[in-house]
Chain A
Amino acid sequence: AQTVTQSQPEMSVQEAETVTLSCTYDTSESDYYLFWYKQPPSRQMILVIRQEAYKQQNATENRFSVNFQKAAKSFSLKISDSQLGDAAMYFCAYRRDSGYALNFGKGTSLLVTP
């Protein structure tokens, strides 16, 4: 099974600053998809951003962007201009092209301080 590793159990950032959450994965596949999900205290799982492995261009969604390094099997999430509402658990997830289910990392808890 593919392994997704989030090496930072907790991170902290000041409001308006930038923070980067790390994610690495292990796969022998060449085609796959990567996702970042946000889980606020409400428990809702919210898709933040996704990346296709065949695309070299890094995905961007407003203040959220990724640094996708395919050779290094790295998929980090950058949050710019952090807001109090960004405080949540963030999960990195992988899905191989021919697969169905998502394979999740253990998550990073992000604290945003005023």
Chain B
Amino acid sequence: DAGITQSPRHKVTETGTPVTLRCHQTENHRYMYWYRQDPGHGLRLIHYSYGVKDTDKGEVSDGYSVSRSKTEDFLLTLESATSSQTSVYFCAISGTRDSASNYGYTFGSGTRLTVV
């Protein structure tokens, strides 16, 4: 979607290797989120950020870490990829709490990660 890009769009990696996914926004939004989507599970929150260097864990954070050194970038790292982390990963952004409530959240196009 306009204003938010994820890279890469697809990635295949081997078990045990570290992987970093990038989310970049041009909306200057304060809040950024990483979700994973799996069949039968919907979207589940991994980590989120409420400002530069301010992050917190979500529902399924084990095996993942995040960093946000600039407002526009939110990185998701799989420290040692496992097959259970094969998934589609979505980044989302939102502005103030009021604007998020009024206008929803903007999602990236997703990254399909396959761990072999």
Q: Are A107 and B42 in contact (CB under 8 A)?
A: yes
In the bound complex, what is the Cα–Cα distance between A27 and B111 (angstroms)? 31
Bound: A97/B43 CA distance, A: 20
| A72 adjacent to chain B (CB < 8 Å) | no
Among B44, B48, B92, B97, find the residue whose CB has the most chain A CB atoms closer than 10 A. Answer: B97
B33 within 8 A of A: yes
Shortest C-beta distance, B104 to chain A (Å), equals 4
Which listed residue, A35, A97, A106, touches B41 by the CB 8 Å rule?
Answer: A106
- Evaluate whether A43 and B110 lie within 8 angstroms (CB atoms) in the complex, with A95-B100, A100-B48, A106-B41 already known: yes
B67 CB, nearest partner CB in chain A, Å: 18
Q: How many residues of B contact A (CB 8 A)?
A: 28
- Residue A45 interfacial (CB < 8 Å): yes
| Chain B 81-116 interface mask (CB, 8 Å, partner A; 1/0) | 000000010101010010011111101011000000
Cβ contact within 8 Å between A44 and B107: yes
Q: Mark B1-37, 1 if CB is under 8 A from A, else 0.
A: 1000000000000000000000000000001010100
The 7 closest A-B pairs by CB, nearest first: A45-B107, A47-B104, A106-B42, A104-B42, A104-B43, A43-B110, A33-B101
**Chain B residues with a Cβ under 8 A of chain A:** 1, 31, 33, 35, 40-45, 48, 50, 58-59, 88, 90, 92, 94, 97, 100-105, 107, 109-110
Which residues of A approach B to under 8 Å, CB–CB?
A: 1, 4, 6, 9, 33, 35, 37, 43-45, 47, 50, 52, 91, 95, 97, 100-107
A-B contact pairs, 26 of them (CB 8 A): A1-B59, A6-B42, A43-B88, A43-B109, A44-B1, A45-B90, A47-B105, A50-B101, A50-B102, A50-B104, A91-B42, A95-B100, A95-B101, A97-B101, A100-B94, A100-B97, A101-B33, A102-B92, A102-B105, A103-B45, A104-B35, A104-B42, A104-B43, A106-B41, A106-B42, A107-B42
